Amino acid sequence: MAEDRDGAIEAALAEIPAEHLDADLVAAKVARVEDGRITLRYPYPGQSAGQRAVAQIRERLRDTGHEASVEVVTKIEPRLCPGGAERLPGVANVVAVASAKGGVGKSTVAANLALGLQAEGARAGLLDADVHGPSVAAAFGGGTPQVNDAEQLEPLRLGGLQAISMGHLIEGDQPMVWRGPMVAKALRQFLRETAWRDLDFLVVDLPPGTGDVPLSLAQNAPLAGAVIVTTPQELAIADARRGVKMFEKVSVPVLGYVANMIHFICPGCGAKHEVFGPGAAGQFGRELKLSSLAELPLDSRIGTSAEPVLLANPEAPVSAAFRELAVRVGVELLKRPVDRGAKLPPIKPA
C-alpha cells in the first residue's frame, strides 16, 4: 500500500518541472519519495525554487487525494578547479568577484552575493581580499577575529556569514601601506590560515585591477569561477574585458558578468530609464560570450547605507535581484565537472 502511494506521489512529481535543470523533479533527481515523505534536494542554491515547487506539489497532491510532508534541502558539490591549487579545508567552492576597475559596485555585489547564497539555502562565507580598501568591516561591523588553539583565525559571524577582512585587523581609517609581496602573504594567510567551516561557497571580494592580488588568488586558491562586475560605461567595460582576459590567462572560468547600475526605476511612475544608454553591457557579454548573471538598478537603498541591502531591506526588489544572482552563479557552476577527489578522506601514511 505504501509503495502504491509513493508511486502515485512520484508520478505527480514527474509532472512538475525542476527550475534551471531542464527536466522534471524526478528525472532531474531532485525529488525523492519515501514512506510518504518528499525530499527536494537542489544541487544549486534553490530555496526559492524549492518553495515554488512545494506549492505546485501541494496542489497536485490535493488533486490526487494524497498527503505527504515536503522538505527542501540544498546539496552543493565541489566543482573541479582547473588551476591545480590545493583545496581549502572546509570550503567546497571559491568564487571570486572582480571588476578590474574601481567604483562599479563590486564590493556591494560581493557582499550581497554571499548573503543571497545564504538566503537561498547555501552555507556561505565572505573574504575581503581588497587589502588596501577593505569594506566588509564598514558594511557589517563586527569585532576582531580571534586565534584558536590551532593558530588559525576564527572567522567572524556577520549577518550569518563566516567573514574575514583586513578591516577587522586595523584601526579605523588607518591605511595599509604595503607592497605587493606583503599583500600576497596576507591573502595566503586569510585563505589558508582561517578556520572556514563547512562552506558551500566562499565569495572573495577582489581589489580592482589585474595585479598582485588576483594573480596570488589564482595561484593559491582553487577558484571554481569568477564573476565580473561592470557598469554600462565604455571605460568600465573596457577594463572588464581586461579582467576577463586575466582570468583566461590563469585558467579560471568566468561564470558570467553582472551589469550594475544599469537602469533607474522612477519612484513616481515606475518607468525604467537606462541611465547610460541602452545595450552597452549586453554587447560586452555577446562579444566575450559571457552569460548575463544580473542587471542591477541604481537604487537609493543601496547607496545611502553601508549595510548590505539583503540585511537592511530583504523584501526590496533589488534584494530579490541579488538572490536571483546567487541562484544564477550556482547554476553556472553546475556546468563544471564535480571534483570527486574532494570527497575522499586524506590518505594517512602507514
Per the annotation, binding residues for ATP are: 100-107
Instruction: Give strand ranges (E) for the chain.
Output: 17-18, 23-24, 31-34, 37-42, 69-74, 91-98, 124-128, 156-158, 161-165, 199-205, 223-230, 254-265, 272-273, 292-298
**Residue (of 207, 232, 229) closest to 217 by Cα position:** 207
Distance from the Cα of residue 147 to its chain's centroid: 27
39, with CB counted inside 10 A (0-12, 13-18, 19+), is: middle
CA atoms within 13 A on the CB side of 104: 33
Cross-strand pairs, 189: none
* Signed CA dihedral, 91, 95, 96, 97: sign only: negative
Annotated binding site: 100-107
State how far the Cα of 230 lies from the Cα of 282, in Å rounded to an integer: 11
Task: Give the helix/strand (H/E) hosting 11.
Answer: helix 2-13
State how far the Cα of 216 lies from the Cα of 72, in Å rounded to an integer: 38
